[in-house]
Amino acid sequence: MTLDRFGRPLQDLRISVTDRCNFRCTYCMPKEIFGRDFEFMRRDELLSFEEIARVAAAFVRAGVRKLRITGGEPLLRKGIEDLIELLALIEGVEDLTLTTNGSLLARKARALRDAGLDRVTVSLDSMDDTAFMAMNDVGFPVKNVLDAIDAAAAAGLTPVKVNMVVKRGVNDSSVVDMARHFRGTGHIVRFIEYMDVGTTNGWRLDDVVSGKEIVNAVNSVFPLEPVDPNYLGEVAQRYRYVDGRGEIGVITSVTQPFCGECSRARISADGKLYTCLFATHGTDFRQLLRNGASDTELDTAITGVWSNREDRYSEIRTSQTIEIGRKVEMSYIGG
């Protein structure tokens, strides 16, 4: 087990496979910044699947048990199921998952499952087409995401988790509708407080709808009770419906930070290791790999970075820290 300076073990690795996305969600890749002229990474800058698998195996040797594939939109990366197949072969991986906007999932779900993917998390910010299209900013309809969720469930990528970022005045009126739609389906909706990731989304504290408000809103229509976490370091606080029709999660990284148990590392698509979602710089593993580093050298590099880690951004967030430095964008690091 590899521990950081606060005794937190390295357990989860989130792997971004592309910085591109076909949505322009206003809180993640606003069109004004990520427009036609924006320069995304070149093909040769991205880690190859073999490089990703080598790094992932090194992280598993360091204690990681859970791998999550992210982007940008990971299903835009050509042949992604080949990467899943490589990662599924790594001994010691207990949970292999992927986060997607759902746009390409319906046609890929079966191949992903066959390649060895365990589960998916699908982002869906509203049940209302007007609000959802305004948020994804490319006119993508709710129904297509719902069809993708059905396809994922039919392929056995379960339980499907559905992530909703809640922004005040934009989609908070959809909270209860989301709960209503997914109650009794076996899918788990997770409501996420709107965060100040990156520097391009114009975040303001006033836009945050607290987890407490969200739970109260759902509870007033469908009574809830809290449930213990599934495991130490679980990000979402769990609540189940008193009538037994499933559960929801609330991710309160702004109003109730959980840095104390944060066990996640992140690798960007170009091979930089970040030890916090709000980091301002990463460690270049692509260079190590392409300079012919041995497995032992990779292991030493991972241990070296993690054992010096002292990130706890959300716990010390103030109006000053929000302004400091140039935090990496969510589309680059995978949320």
Binding site for ligand SF4 (CB under 6 A): 253, 257-259, 262, 276-278, 311-314
Of 237 and 314, which CB lies nearer to ligand SF4 in the complex structure?
314
Minimum distance, C-beta of residue 237 to ligand SF4, in the bound complex (Å): 13
Q: How far is CA 70 from CA 87, 98, 100, 250, in A?
A: 14, 6, 7, 20
Of 134 and 259, which CB lies nearer to ligand SF4 in the complex structure?
259
- 185-188-191-192 Cα dihedral, nearest 10 degrees: -150
Answer whether 263's CB lies under 8 Å from 233's CB.
yes
Of 123 and 314, which CB lies nearer to ligand SF4 in the complex structure?
314
CA dist 312 and 335 (Å) reads 16
Of 163 and 314, which CB lies nearer to ligand SF4 in the complex structure?
314
CA dist 173 and 170 (Å) reads 8
Minimum distance, C-beta of residue 129 to ligand SF4, in the bound complex (Å): 32
Q: Is the dihedral of CA 259, 260, 262, 263 positive or negative?
A: positive
Of 229 and 257, which CB lies nearer to ligand SF4 in the complex structure?
257
Minimum distance, C-beta of residue 256 to ligand SF4, in the bound complex (Å): 11
Minimum distance, C-beta of residue 260 to ligand SF4, in the bound complex (Å): 8
Minimum distance, C-beta of residue 27 to ligand SF4, in the bound complex (Å): 16
